[in-house]
Structure 1
Amino acid sequence: MPYASADAHVHFALHPDHHPAVIATTTGPTADAARSHLHDHGFRSTGPTTMVLARIDLEEPHYTAQAAEQLQQLGFTTEIDPALQEEIDTEWTWANYPMPWCTREEIREVGAEAQRIHDDIAEGRLVIHLHAHDGHTTVAVGSYTTGVRRHVHLHGENHLRQKTDIAFGTEAEAVSEFHRLYSVAVRPGPAPLTDLEQAVRRLLAGTTPSTAEETSAPSAEPPVAELGEHEAFLAALFDEDCQWERYRPSDETTIASHESLTVRAEFDHEARHRTDVAWTVAEYDGPVGERLWHATLTAGTPVPLIHTILQHLDAPPLTTADHPDDVLHEAAWHPASHPARTTWAAPGGTMVFESTPHAVADRWTLYGGEDLDRAAWTIRLSAGVPHDLLAQLAETAADLFPSPTRPAPRLLPAPISRLPAAVPARHFRGR
């Protein structure tokens, strides 16, 4: 259809309450034409001059960039907030994607299909008859009400929901097969909305959670290091502990070498984004020996966890510890087994300790943030890392997010060396 002349300004910015959703603010004589184009890209009106893009695949920055480019080609004036531009420029990855063989574009295609299914259900084009839980995820059976009438089985939630390959000619056939597959687990109607689906629908409706909902939500925020905390910790390391020597091969890098010549920690002063590696730590089998193991820590990693690693390397305990899951079990972290890995999730779901027993580079991963699919910080440890260090990391992580069974947090391991006390961590909500 023809549109009016392009005489409008569109400003894009991250939604203040739900990252990475995007708010588009339109002004100018032909703002309605710009809004029509934005609607074609998934934006929905929430006010006279505002529209919101909120997706269950968390790809809002990517699709915002596409919308802005098209508007520019049509002659509209667009402006992208710097924080949103950083999200657009960052190719993030899912922390726990169950199909690791997929490329980034294939992952985006899977998410786009899940988004289409979500929209079809939300807008009444796909009616869900029954749902069930197959032991791993939610499954459902439904029928399309528009176009060529189709009857489908669905598998998965949020960005992973897909149609199965089975084709059904009638609703009765689809429902009968669903009953056969899932038996007593079958429940009527659609499954309850996931937390993400609820948040997306609230945003698209232009509403926010009620005060009662906000006060009933967990008040603890996941710990994330603020800008400058790592720098302060590094400075204290050299100022207060003479067992570490400083080398500055460039303006961007500082190397901390232990007096034993078997431990090396490299700090990148330019690391800023949550996916940037700020620390690389390694231990060697003697001053000129082979590397035993290594770890990387991103820019938002809480300082107490960095302290734990360096403290262990400075003065390892005399006795070895058991497997870290003993500590996590005591702290009431929730275990879950997957075909290729085992995870332990903190109460409240803001931190995860993961073991991938067949991996070499990333044998162990500890990550956290308000949205674990886009972790605010990540620690990756290779095969060969001592179990006593893993147990100490698990202890520190459990103390950072105490559960009712561990009400008294102990933010740092008991001092066993002259390493400086960790800089007190200031918290903000990460994604």
Structure 2
Amino acid sequence: MTDTERAAIAARSVFDVTTAKPEPPRPQLEAVPVYLADAGDHDALLDSFLDAHGEFEKWRAWSDETTYAIHESQTLRIERAHETLARETAWTVAAYETPVSDRMWHLTATDATPSPVLQSLLIHLAEGDGWDTVIGTPVDERTVTTTTQPLAEAGWKHTLTGHGIRWTSPDGQAGVRFDPLTAQHPQNPATWTIWAGSDPDQPTWAITASPHTPSSLLADLSETLAHETGTRQAQPGHEHRPRLAASALAPPAVTAGRPASRSR
């Protein structure tokens, strides 16, 4: 190259450096009680679950808008709807006594549910027959006490409301509710409701569960809410001091149908 060409290249490189846009700062994360954590990547969570648990097979609906994880026994089905809004149902878990029987229990979770909460749920489901329940067994006082014991031990406030019994986190940002009236109807979608947010009627996220949802599963979720922490993007001008108190349970109600196509 001639001296003129070299000079032109050098000048251009200086211009490129001085005009290059700086990289945007990485979001700062803060530790918070798990019920206040960001939702995270639900699709990646499901993929990791399926990779680790070969007893579940992955199916996709013909539209690719829904993924199903079906246990080899055909009695437990997990449905993940991909195109949902934060407060819409994105997960449905349904358990059956046999592959062709009626549903025993079901649970749903909205799209904004924190990944650590969902991970606790999936881990429980992966532990063999952890989804079994006995149809016809009433939800009695002992069952409710066992299910919510982690919340009581963590100092969650216990109150009676027009909707039943409620446990509220010390910071008032999460809650668990049991409705004894709906417990008499096995297919009721929301005998148990777990939520986060200051208003239970407009929750940030929620999980709901039908009456015969295994108490051991709900107790595991209570333990997670009461003692686990997560992360969320730091909010300018807001400092949150995490405390060892938990979160709340959330809403169930959907039937996992038979998928249309299978993905390998």
* TM-score normalised by L of structure 2: 0.63
**Bigger Rg, structure 1 or 2:** 1
Match of 1:333 among 151, 156, 162: 156
Residue correspondence of structure 1 range 93-132 to structure 2 within 5 A: none
Kindly indicate whether residue 75 of structure 2 is the aligned counterpart of residue 262 of structure 1: yes
Kindly indicate whether residue 165 of structure 2 is the aligned counterpart of residue 350 of structure 1: no
Q: Aligned partners of 2:77, 2:220: CA distance in 1, in Å?
A: 19
Structure 1 gap segments, 5+ residues each: 1-218, 410-431
Tell me which amino acid in the other structure corresponds to 2:56. Answer: W
Question: 1:259: Cα distance to partner?
Answer: 1.5
> Structure 1 residues 401, 336: CA separation in 2 closer, same or farther (over 3 Å shift)?
farther
Question: Deviation string for 1:37-94 (max 9, x for gaps)?
Answer: xxxxxxxxxxxxxxxxxxxxxxxxxxxxxxxxxxxxxxxxxxxxxxxxxxxxxxxxxx
Question: 1:371: Cα distance to partner?
Answer: 5.0
Kindly indicate whether residue 6 of structure 2 is the aligned counterpart of residue 233 of structure 1: no
Match of 1:379 among 179, 184, 207: 207
Q: Aligned partners of 2:199, 2:163: CA distance in 1, in Å?
A: 22
Question: 1:339: Cα distance to partner?
Answer: 3.4
Residue correspondence of structure 1 range 5-404 to structure 2 within 5 A: 220=32, 222-226=35-39, 229-249=41-61, 250-271=63-84, 273-315=85-127, 316=129, 323-359=146-182, 360-369=188-197, 371-400=199-228
Aligned residues: 187
Question: 1:293: Cα distance to partner?
Answer: 0.5
Amino-acid identity (%)? 36
Structure 2 gap segments, 5+ residues each: 1-30, 134-142, 183-187, 231-240, 247-264
> Structure 1 residues 397, 295: CA separation in 2 closer, same or farther (over 3 Å shift)?
same
Tell me which amino acid in the other structure corresponds to 2:209. Answer: L
Tell me which amino acid in the other structure corresponds to 1:349. Answer: G
- 2:87 aligned counterpart, secondary structure: coil
Q: Aligned partners of 2:207, 2:164: CA distance in 1, in Å?
A: 16
Question: Deviation string for 1:198-256 (max 9, x for gaps)?
Answer: xxxxxxxxxxxxxxxxxxxxx94752433x61011011122222111000012101011
> Structure 1 residues 224, 374: CA separation in 2 closer, same or farther (over 3 Å shift)?
farther
Q: Aligned partners of 1:344, 1:241: CA distance in 2, in Å?
A: 34
Q: Which residue of 2 aligns with 1:152?
A: none
Tell me which amino acid in the other structure corresponds to 2:57. Answer: E
Q: Aligned partners of 1:284, 1:377: CA distance in 2, in Å?
A: 26
Question: Deviation string for 1:262-284 (max 9, x for gaps)?
Answer: 1001111101x222111011010
Q: Aligned partners of 2:198, 2:152: CA distance in 1, in Å?
A: 22
Q: Aligned partners of 1:378, 1:319: CA distance in 2, in Å?
A: 23
- 1:323 aligned counterpart, secondary structure: helix
> Structure 1 residues 236, 361: CA separation in 2 closer, same or farther (over 3 Å shift)?
same
Q: Aligned partners of 1:373, 1:385: CA distance in 2, in Å?
A: 22
Question: 1:408: Cα distance to partner?
Answer: 9.7
Q: Aligned partners of 2:130, 2:212: CA distance in 1, in Å?
A: 17
Q: Aligned partners of 1:242, 1:397: CA distance in 2, in Å?
A: 28
Contact 2:53/2:126, CA 8 A, preserved across alignment: no
Q: Aligned partners of 1:241, 1:312: CA distance in 2, in Å?
A: 12
Q: Aligned partners of 1:303, 1:334: CA distance in 2, in Å?
A: 25
- 2:225 aligned counterpart, secondary structure: helix
Q: Aligned partners of 1:223, 1:386: CA distance in 2, in Å?
A: 25
Contact 2:178/2:191, CA 8 A, preserved across alignment: yes
- Larger RCO, structure (CA 8 Å, separation 6 or more): 2
Contact 2:107/2:210, CA 8 A, preserved across alignment: yes
- 2:77 aligned counterpart, secondary structure: strand
Q: How large is the RMSD of aligned CA atoms in angstroms? A: 2.9
